[in-house]
Amino acid sequence: MNPTQRLMQPLTWQVGGVKITRIVELTTASLGPHLLPQATPELMLAVPWLQPFIDEQGRIILSMHALVVEADDKLIVVDTCIGNDKERVYPRWHQMQTNFLERFQALGFDPDAVDVVLCTHMHVDHVGWNTRWQNDAWQPTFGNARYLYAQQEWAHWQTQEQEYGPVVEDSVQPIFAAGLADLVPANHQVTNAVRLISTPGHTPGHVSVGIESQGQSAVITGDMIHHPCQILHPQWASLADVDGNLGVTTRNAFLARYSDTQTLIIGTHFATPTAGYVVSSDAGYVFSYA
């Protein structure tokens, strides 16, 4: 298997009675300097356990993927990547064309069978496949789903200027227009096994997703942690954070809460192997993965 195939392959995890499937839209090693300039190649290459998450030059790899959660007879999609056909400032994402939706269906998932779409926040790479261009308009991709957004996140974007293009206009507002959007509190219980966890900082209403089933647990991070190097260096704020200091506080509290536990941590932008456990050490927190 070549490096590209390794990064793009579907991955699955079982957490009690809940199944979680990763579907990758794309990976990139070009955004690191713009997102985490602290993560220099020299520092990254010096940490053996970071090797799966960097390229041969020591640049951090970011994976843009959706996570499909099958829980309590519900089909839930967590974050919907960048999407096709959209006007974006970043050249690689402008009018992008990928076969993401075809691969979604090839894994046995029917867009019309999705019950819930969860967006950890409303950045460009988390809401893109909320909609697709059909019949000369942006239509909901998952036409039978309820799309859940944290109330504070939606309020934030009512006045915030958008950096990457008309993201709210083409990927969020059409969901409201179709009557499919629900504004929920940041601790909303989605199903018996799935709930939202407030993790502000990256954006004011940012949430992570907690999963508990049959005595097992997992957390999908969202952008509370962009890259595993922030597990080792939680003080590294992303340049994309709305409130970097709050993000650091949230990340430190998260790592203290889940370190040395059996809670599986699934990184929303972590490249393969994507999931593992936070372990404390004399050098700080490390990420343990199979």
Low-confidence ranges of the chain (pLDDT < 50): none
Residue 2 confidence (pLDDT): 75
**What span, in angstroms and rounded, lies between the C-alpha atoms of 265 and 258?**
9
All domains in the chain, ordered by first residue: 3-288 (3.60.15.10)
Confidence (pLDDT) at 283: 87
Count Cα atoms within 13 angstroms, Cβ side, for 102. Answer: 4
Under 8 Å between Cβ of 171 and 83:
yes
pLDDT for res 1? 73
pLDDT in tens, 170-211: 999 999 999 999 999 999 999 999 999 999 999 999 999 999
The helix or strand, by DSSP H or E, that contains position 106, with its residue range, turns out to be: helix 100-106
Q: Which ranges of 180-285 does DSSP label H, i.e. alpha helix? A: 229-232, 244-258
pLDDT for the residue numbered 185: 98
Local structure of residue 84 (DSSP, 8 states):
S
> Structure pTM?
0.97
pLDDT of residue 159: 87
